């Protein structure tokens, strides 16, 4: 097994985590905060929009079972990469669309995926591709949030459409 990690921000981490946890080859999806200026931020800090952090997920996967290219393709399908600092009703820089890289290979894959995804959108994609500067794991109650809170109103309204997109376009990738 060749373990790799990919860090993505596509709005609320509860939503993106729910999608990527369902994929073959993904062994873990962890919600966290990245690239801000506050040390050891809390969810309350992040929600102010003043820390500079973005809600992200860290995907740990086996690249012999699923590729970073496939993960990036899924990323561009299950969220709206054309809205600046917004996903649905969630607004603020903490919800920005971003791909964070730690090596040149991931940066190049992200650039290629963004370019390929643009053909599927009328508006320009605003997803940033940035080096990972810092990462903090979110509080325990954010981990596996959808699995533990699927009947919560926000989850019921926002996550099922993302899961439907995943199944429609990437059903063969699902576990």
Q: Which DSSP string corresponds to the chain?
A: --EEEEEEEES-HHHHHHHHTTBTTEEEEEEEEES-SSSS--HHHHHTT-S--EEEEEEEEETTTS-HHHHHHHHHHHS-TTSTTEETTEESGGG-EEEEESSHHHHHHHHHHHHHHGGG-SSPP--EEEE---EEEPPGGGTTHHHHHTTSHHHHHHHHHHHHHHHHHHGGGB-
Copy the structure tokens of residue 16. Answer: 């993106």
- 140 Cβ partners below 8 Å, 6+ apart? none
Of the residues 12, 47, 134, 155, only one is catalytic, namely 12
Name beta bridge partners: 40.
Answer: none
Active site residue 47: no
Pairing of strands 54-62, 26-34: antiparallel
Catalytic residues: 12
């Amino acid at each position: 097994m060749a373990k790799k990690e990919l860090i993505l921000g596509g709005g609320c981490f509860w939503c993106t985590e729910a999608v990527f946890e369902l994929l073959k080859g993904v062994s873990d999806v962890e919600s966290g905060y990245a690239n801000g200026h506050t040390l050891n931020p809390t969810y309350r800090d992040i929600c102010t929009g003043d820390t500079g952090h973005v809600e992200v997920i860290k995907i740990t996967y086996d690249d012999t079972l699923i590729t970073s290219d496939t993960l990036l393709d899924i990323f561009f399908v299950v969220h709206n990469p054309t809205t600046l600092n917004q996903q649905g009703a969630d607004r603020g820089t903490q919800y920005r669309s971003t791909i964070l890289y730690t090596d040149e290979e991931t940066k190049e894959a992200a650039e290629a995926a963004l370019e390929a995804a643009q053909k599927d959108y009328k508006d320009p994609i605003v997803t940033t591709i940035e080096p990972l500067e810092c990462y903090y794991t979110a509080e325990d109650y954010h981990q596996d949030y959808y699995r533990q809170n699927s009947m919560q109103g926000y989850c019921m309204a926002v996550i099922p459409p993302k899961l439907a997109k995943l199944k429609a376009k990437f059903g063969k990738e699902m576990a």
